Amino acid sequence: MNRCELKWIDDKTLQISGTIDEYFSFDPVIERLVGEIWIDLSEVKRINSCGVREWIKVISKSQARLHYRQCSSVIVSQFSMIPEFLGPFGQVESFETQYVCPHCGHEDSLLLVVGKDIAAGQDSYEHSPEMTCRECGDKMECDHNPELYFSFLRDAA
């Protein structure tokens, strides 16, 4: 079982890894979630409804300016389905997007930096940034529905 771990990488950067479920709690770090904080979510593998509830309970009331970086696709799906998940002052800095090659089946992921690789505040997100297959050189396809997956960016400007 892959329990959740919260670890401070530096003064202002919290890394959350593992599974966000009924055992997950912000309690051990909540006093430090003030001011400007970065949260690294690259290692979040799974989240369930109990985890979502605990997350929103804390984040929706947080006055901190939270910057989410390297968000895994599990987390991005939450951003897009549940706007409160970001919190009132939360911003996504960078996030993972999965691709699959239609030619050879190779799967890969790309880290997209908001404002650099993909713009916030667009009316629609029909197209994902391009990725070339490192196995065969073909153009890869986004493994998500871009319109849904990137929808959290619409209001993120």
Q: Which residues contact 110 (CB under 8 A, 6 or more apart)?
A: 96, 97, 99, 117, 129, 131
Question: What are the distances in angstroms from CA 151 to CA 13, 88, 127, 148?
Answer: 26, 17, 12, 5
Task: Give the residue, chosen from 16, 20, 76, 133, that forms a contact with Zn ion under the rule CB under 5 A.
Answer: 133
Shortest Cβ 110–Zn ion spacing (Å): 14
Size of the site for Zn ion (CB under 5 A): 8
Using CB under 5 A as the binding rule, whether residue 12 contacts Zn ion is answered as: no
Q: Phi, psi at residue 95, to the nearest 5°? A: -155, 160
Shortest Cβ 99–Zn ion spacing (Å): 10
Q: Closer to Zn ion at the Cβ: 50 or 104?
A: 104
CB 15 within 8 A of CB 7: yes
Using CB under 5 A as the binding rule, whether residue 107 contacts Zn ion is answered as: no
Chain contacts with Zn ion (rule: CB under 5 A):
101, 103-104, 106, 133, 135-136, 138
